[in-house]
Amino acid sequence: MKFRLNYFVIFLICSLLFVFLFCDKTKSPLEPVIKEIDKAILNDMVENINVGIYGEIHSVLILYNDSLVFEEYFNGCHQNSIECINDATTSISSAIIGIAIQEGYVNSVREKLLPFFVEYSNIAFNDSLKEAITLEHVLTMTAGLSWNDEILNQMYNSRDWIKFTLDRPMSENPGEIFNYNLGGSMLLSGIIQNTTNMLVQNFAKSKLFQPLGIKSSYWLSDGTGKGSTGTGFCLRAFDFLRFGQLYLKKGSWTGQQLISEEWVEISTQKWVKPHQFWWKDNEYGYHWWRYSESHRIAKILQTNDVYFAWGWGDQFLWILPHLEMVVVVTAGNFEKWRAAESILWEYILPAIL
């Protein structure tokens, strides 16, 4: 009996030591403690959206830990409404280029731009600077082509948007200056067509949208029928969220690697810092945006790994990997630039954190 008692005491002491040393449930300061979602905060968000504080919001969707935890539509929109995501189209184009590289149609982002377009034998202002442009320069908005909003409108009024863009004179050395250029993004459409022998609309449908179950979409096209890879792609907000979930899962969808994990990582990291004042707190990857460490969101999150697609009129798709969260906001704020953006840190993150 005495032996059994001592054995029991020793066993109890060892068990307590094991719990103390190895089963401490407290989180590291670097790992946010995730609580239940605060619905009251999100209700406040809805009230302020309804009174117009954030402009004309169309939808807010939150995917958290693989569950759709919030889905609301506003201003007459509903789940089946087709939203034009405008410049956020560029992030979908980045995914399409990644797939083309993964499948061997394009060798790498280091490939020179002009050899993709042998059908244009008389490109204007062709010089050594233009010949130095690479696919990577296009993806990072550093191609060096002369460009502004007025020129973008001229492109829309032309028949062949690729020819119009290739004919632009150079204003900087490639790779030196960030200059937001949706004409450059349109060149991705031609690269896909000339390397795969498929319109970008068909290539994207086969390789990306059908596997994701996206059935309702629309492409803006130029006069030659080429789908725009710069702006004007339209889809449901819920399907935009699916695209974000694909990136959250590092390119994998139901066991199929639609986009290589390497491309997801490379394309969404910082490659360039825009120098313009209105983007002073932003960084840019391969057609994806990021928040710099000077942005207020970096002070809210202990891990600033947010990257996002962003379209004119306040179309946002945020991916927050360490929180296992994807957020979509769509809107019609064409006269109220970035009015909806603060919804992320004023309501959604506080409701989660």
If you write DSSP's letter for every residue of 41-96 in order, what string do you get?
A: HHHHHHHHHHTTTTSSEEEEEEEETTEEEEEEE-TT--TT-EEE-GGGHHHHHHHH
CB contact at 8 A, 187 and 162: yes
Query: What percentage of the chain reaches a pLDDT higher than 70?
Result: 90
Region of 289 on the Ramachandran plot (φ > 0 left; ψ -120 to 50 alpha; else beta): beta
What per-residue string of b and e applies to 72-111 under the rule 16 or more CB within 10 Å gives b? ebbeebeeebebbbbbbbbbbbbbbbbbbbbeebbeebee
Q: What is the pLDDT of residues 205-259, one digit of tens each?
A: 999 999 999 999 999 999 999 999 999 999 999 999 999 999 999 999 999 999 9
| pLDDT above 90 (res 34) | no
Average pLDDT over residues 182-211: 98
Q: What is the pLDDT of residues 284-320, one digit of tens each?
A: 999 999 999 999 999 899 899 999 999 999 999 999 9
Average pLDDT over residues 324-331: 98
pTM of the model: 0.89
Pairing state of beta strands 57-64 and 217-218? Answer: unpaired
Q: What is the pLDDT of residue 304?
A: 95
Q: What is the pLDDT of residue 219?
A: 96
| pLDDT above 80 (res 327) | yes
Region of 37 on the Ramachandran plot (φ > 0 left; ψ -120 to 50 alpha; else beta): beta
Q: What is the pLDDT of residues 70-96, one digit of tens each?
A: 999 999 999 999 999 999 999 999 999
Distance between CA atoms of 226 and 249, rounded to whole angstroms? 30
Q: What is the pLDDT of residue 137?
A: 98
Average pLDDT, the chain: 90
Q: What is the pLDDT of residue 50?
A: 98
Three-class secondary structure of residue 7 per DSSP: helix
Checking 295-303 for CB contacts under 8 A at 24+ apart, the result is 296/345, 297/344, 297/345, 297/349, 300/345, 300/349, 300/353, 301/32, 301/349, 302/29, 302/30, 302/31, 302/32, 303/30, 303/32
